[in-house]
A and B are shown apart, each in its own frame.
Chain A
Amino acid sequence: MNLLNCHQINELLSAYLENELDTTTTLTVANHLEKCLSCEKELKALTNVSNLVKTVIREADKTDLSLVARSNKINSLVKDEITSKIKATENLVLASSNDNSIKTSQNNIVKLNLRPKWSALSKKIFLSLAASVAIICLSLFTITYYATSTGPLLSGVARNHQFCSAIEISNIGWHKGYPKERLLQANNINLPKLDTLGVHFSDLHPCKVYKAPFLHMMYSKGDKQISLYYGSQEAVNKFQEKFKTITPNELYLHQESNLQIAAISTQKNNLWIVAGDLTKEEINAITSELAINSLSNTEESKLFH
């Protein structure tokens, strides 16, 4: 720092006045000031300003007589506050003196540890359990609510439900042990007996086909799964709306489920649907049996014409 111009020296003058510069810089500034009248003048001006400010403020402090009274009042308030805090702490210590969580060291420093250590862990466990329950509930609700097709959602447990929306896990839907007799009674039908055709009944449950309520009766013939669906007036209306051109007792390939289906009407205001990998002969045999076993007055209605 051998060469400094006046501007650079001016920047250092404040620190020079407060003796905040290192020895080398102090010497540099001092040497410059010896040779430069303008910088020396600047230093004097700054010194005068500083002295004036100091004098003015210190004089103002002397005339402010309220300072002593205010500081005494503050000290008094602070002491009271601190004393009351100490007393409160001591009372807390006395009140909990039998508590094992209070530890007193040799230096008479009281450490309070009133909260049990496992509280944080139990809080985490509680939150984890709550989160798990919430996730399970949400999953069940989602599966139940959106189970419009059993293919993707419940294919593992309901291979026979490609055509309908089996609600197997809901209280309002079908599950193992649901009284079958009650379901048949509610729909005012008898269970079709197809044993003579080698088709054996396995189970039944309430379901929905295109949002219309049906009763799904599951049968099997060897490895082949056969389903009978029974629907009342509401189902008829919905189904008629969906399949306007369907003809009773004719086999159709249901595009969505890739199942062969046939629609049969035994009465004017109800509907039977047979679904499965069927032949025309099997359909005819089943419809004949249905006509025998189902309610009387079987007729091919003009439902689908």
Chain B
Amino acid sequence: MANDNNNLALLSTEDQLENFENLALIHTQILLRTATRMCTNSSEADDIVQETLLRAWKYWHTFELGSNCRAWLFRIMINLIHRRRESLSNTAEHISVDEPNMANVLKFEPKLEMDEHGALVALNRLPTEYRDIIFLVLIEEFSYKEAAIMLNVPMGTVMSRLHRARQMMKKLLCPDNEDNEDNENIATA
């Protein structure tokens, strides 16, 4: 139950708009940055961010002052991006979320250098779901809990996806350092 002082619905339209500008519109650049990474092109990213902000305004009266506005906006945006991807999924081939096949990612790819160019290429080769988790947790530094809410998945899934994303990146960038994979030595605490 929101405190009345934090309830935007009780404010006049002018005050709500002022709040919206001060709290939500300041995140446009961050939203656009992430949307550009997650969408296929900048035009699509612009559309997504604009739709995100308009939707945020539509439900602005439900936003609780004092809570994390950036996370709230990201949640709306990720939801829109997922919907758009779903609508395109009939025509585009995608890799399953539940059974990521690392071999598909690594197969037939030339070895990459452990440098900036290599990292960008490796990142682009990751399945969408793994790239998303890297953007949200590593780059935007959302917590596992916040990322789980945005992606509508359990926290354990966030943890395992991020781990696998890192493993994939490591294997793409450092293919020779795989000697520890099957090490089953038991260590005592």
Binding site for B on A (CB under 8 A): 1-7, 9-11, 13-15, 18, 20, 27-28, 31-32, 35-36, 38-39, 41-42, 45-46, 48-50, 52-61, 64, 66-68, 70-71, 73-75, 77-79, 81-83, 86, 107-109
Binding site for A on B (CB under 8 A): 9-13, 17, 20-21, 25, 28-29, 32-33, 36-37, 42, 46, 49-50, 53-54, 57, 114-116, 119-120, 123, 134-135, 137-139, 143-144, 159-160, 162-163, 166-167, 169-170, 173-174, 177, 179-180, 182-189
List 22 contacting pairs A-B, 8 Å CB cutoff, sorted by A: A5-B184, A6-B184, A14-B159, A14-B162, A20-B159, A31-B189, A32-B189, A45-B170, A48-B114, A50-B138, A52-B114, A53-B169, A56-B120, A56-B123, A67-B32, A70-B42, A74-B28, A74-B49, A74-B50, A79-B25, A109-B9, A109-B10
Residue among A13, A35, A50 with max Cβ neighbours from chain B (10 Å)? A50
Chain B residues with CB below 8 A from A70, complex form: 32, 42, 46
Chain B residues with CB below 8 A from A10, complex form: 163, 180
Decide: A77 near B116, CB < 8 A? Known: A32-B187, A50-B166: no
Chain A residues with CB below 8 A from B187, complex form: 3-6, 9, 31-32, 35-36, 39
Q: Tally inter-chain residue pairs, CB-CB below 8 A.
A: 154
Chain B residues with CB below 8 A from A50, complex form: 138, 166
Chain A residues with CB below 8 A from B139, complex form: 53-54, 57-58
Q: Contact: A59 with B189, CB < 8 Å?
A: no
Chain A residues with CB below 8 A from B9, complex form: 109
Q: Tell me the complex Cα distance, A107–B50, Å.
A: 29
Give the nearest-CB partner of B61 in chain A.
A109
Known: A14-B162, A68-B29. 10 other contacts (CB 8 A): A18-B144, A35-B188, A46-B167, A46-B170, A53-B119, A55-B116, A57-B135, A74-B49, A78-B57, A81-B54
